[in-house]
Amino acid sequence: MRMVDMIAKKRDGGELTTEEIQFLVTGYTDGSIPDYQMSAWAMAVFFRGMTARETGDLTLAMAGSGEQLDLSSLQGIKVDKHSTGGVGDKTTLVVAPLVAAAGIPVAKMSGRGLGYSGGTIDKLESFAGFEVERTREQFLQQVRDIGVSVIGQSGNLTPADKKLYALRDVTATVEAVPLIASSIMSKKIAAGADAILLDVKVGKGAFMKSIEEAETLANAMVAIGSQVGRKTVAVISDMNQPLGFAVGNALEVKEAVETLAGRGPRDLTELVLSIGSRMLVMGGLVGDVEEGRKKLEDLMASGKAVDKLAEMVEAQGGNKQDVYDLSRLPQAKIIHTVTAEQDGFVSAIDAEAIGHASVVLGAGRLTKEMPIDLAVGLVLHKKRGDQVKAGEVLVTIHANEDQLLKNALKEMEGAFQISTAIDGEQPLIYKIIEA
Ligand code: URA
């Protein structure tokens, strides 16, 4: 087999065989296929697309390019969850302990934030001493003992995707649906899940800006799931405004704990219940989402959901008191409020601008190596649709340096739009896609 023939075949709209795709992934991972040929192939895919069969083959080949986690020693159906990323998206911090409290084993690998979209692993480090790097045995044993562990992604998972993603980033080929879908699904499959719940974000603060794009991506991922025998459900949810009120690591952890206790923001609570109840159905624990939702609401009200997070924090080296006394989490020195200049209704909150402001404060990173400040960020007081009077607080900024506060204020100028009226409700969940 020759890579040049596969590039030509794809350039001319042909379909690669399973063997050709395996050859391409193996060759690219071991270095025998150079970047320039892989770039040409990725660009051919960008223009010509891939069939569902090719996309499934690419996913499995990338999943098999490195270490694969074997979760078979854990009892039950392992349901993983993945978000395509957004601003204020602390869903995993709530969903993981919540569904674990219901009885679904959660052995989850999560990422760090990059750019304006935050990462679960950074947020968890707001608990002093919390260890995100664990040996495979510690990770599995913790899930056997308490039902949940969330750790950082193993360095040796899907090396083919790591290399190809970096290449796509610099060759203008990131935005190819079969490549995005196979990239995400290969990591989920290598992480060992039996079933996968995908939260595909859409809007100003998300990777996918239109519902059509989000739906195309969701359909492609659900199709891959079916093809490789993993039940996959995609929820397409709104990311035009931040999720919940808090943006920034420790601030989001506090909001996640409040949500686990049943006192969370309406949108975050709704998303968590929608995702969590579907995970319970996929895990075979309940017959339908209504039953799942009721179970999760009971776990929130009884305090068992919060207790499960506390158990996880303790098991991974933190102090469980931090969960019950949120004033022990990192706190910023400067608290600054921004108020409304006019009466009206909040008609839009630019999630991307709020995300950028949080990065400027130090809550996120622009390069993978940048240190972050866990205490800083923003807390919204109003969401889209809320009525506001001139002088009322729109957002509280938590900062540790005056200059960074000034920079963040500049970054979020115009982020809140106030109008005399609003045109209808913006849905939180646009669509659920199942095979
Ligand atoms: N996230 C991924 O993991 N891969 C992509 O290609 C795009 C987003």
Tokens for 153? 């992604």
For 296-428, list the strands marked E by DSSP.
Answer: 334-339, 344-349, 377-380, 387-388, 393-399, 416-419
CATH 3.40.1030.10 fits 79-325, yes or no: yes
Compute the distance between CA of residue 324 and CA of residue 334 in angstroms, rounded to an integer: 24
CATH number of 331-419: 3.90.1170.30
Catalytic residue among 78, 82, 230, 293: 82
Q: What pLDDT, on a 0 to 100 scale, did the predictor assign at position 197? A: 98
Q: Are β-strands 148-152 and 106-110 bridged in parallel, bridged antiparallel, or unpaired?
A: parallel
Ligand 1: nearest atom to the Cα of 180: 6
Distance between Cα 366 and ligand 1 center (Å): 17
Half-sphere exposure (CA, 13 Å, Cβ side) for 56?
15
Ligand 1: residues within 6 Å at CB?
A: 165, 174, 179-180, 183-184
Task: Please indicate whether residue 112 is annotated as part of the active site.
Answer: no
Q: What is the pLDDT of residues 192-235, one digit of tens each?
A: 999 999 999 999 889 899 999 999 999 999 999 999 899 999 99
Indicate the domain borders of the chain. Answer: 3-49, 79-325, 331-419
DSSP 326: G
Mutate to test the pocket of ligand 1, among 180, 198, 217 (most ligand atoms within 8 A of CB): 180
Ligand 1, atom 6: closest residue by C-alpha: 180
Q: What pLDDT, on a 0 to 100 scale, did the predictor assign at position 153? A: 85
The alpha carbon of 398 is separated from its chain's Cα centroid by a whole number of angstroms, namely: 23
Q: What is the pLDDT of residues 401-414, one digit of tens each?
A: 999 999 999 999 99
Distance between Cα 80 and ligand 1 center (Å): 16
Mutate to test the pocket of ligand 1, among 174, 188, 213 (most ligand atoms within 8 A of CB): 174
Distance between Cα 63 and ligand 1 center (Å): 14
Of 196, 171, 169, which is closest to residue 184 (Cα–Cα)?
Answer: 196
β-sheet bridge partners, residue 397: 336, 378
Distance between Cα 233 and ligand 1 center (Å): 18
Ligand 1: nearest atom to the Cα of 183: 4
Q: Give Cβ neighbours of residue 424 (< 8 Å, ≥ 6 apart).
A: none
* Residue linked to tokens 């045109």: 423
Ligand 1, atom 1: closest residue by C-alpha: 184
Task: Please indicate whether residue 10 is annotated as part of the active site.
Answer: no
Q: Are 107 and 78 in contact (CB under 8 A)?
A: yes
Distance between Cα 101 and ligand 1 center (Å): 30
DSSP 327: G
pTM recorded for the entire structure: 0.94
Q: What is the pLDDT of residues 259-317, one digit of tens each?
A: 999 999 999 999 999 999 999 999 999 999 999 999 999 999 999 999 999 999 999 99
Distance between Cα 179 and ligand 1 center (Å): 8
Residues 3-49, CATH architecture: Up-down Bundle (1.20)
Catalytic residue among 89, 122, 161, 199: 161
Phi, psi (deg, nearest 5) at residue 366: -100, -25
Left if phi > 0, otherwise alpha if psi is -120 to 50, otherwise beta: which for 125? alpha
Q: What is the pLDDT of residues 78-134, one digit of tens each?
A: 999 999 989 999 999 999 999 999 999 999 999 888 778 889 999 999 999 999 999
Q: Are 242 and 87 in contact (CB under 8 A)?
A: yes
Q: Are 289 and 278 in contact (CB under 8 A)?
A: yes
Q: Are 89 and 265 in contact (CB under 8 A)?
A: no
Compute the distance between CA of residue 65 and CA of residue 50 in angstroms, rounded to an integer: 20
Q: What is the pLDDT of residues 33-80, one digit of tens each?
A: 999 999 999 999 999 999 999 999 999 999 999 999 999 999 999 999
Ligand 1: nearest atom to the Cα of 165: 6
Q: What is the pLDDT of residues 344-395, one digit of tens each?
A: 999 999 999 999 999 999 999 877 778 899 999 999 999 999 999 999 999 9
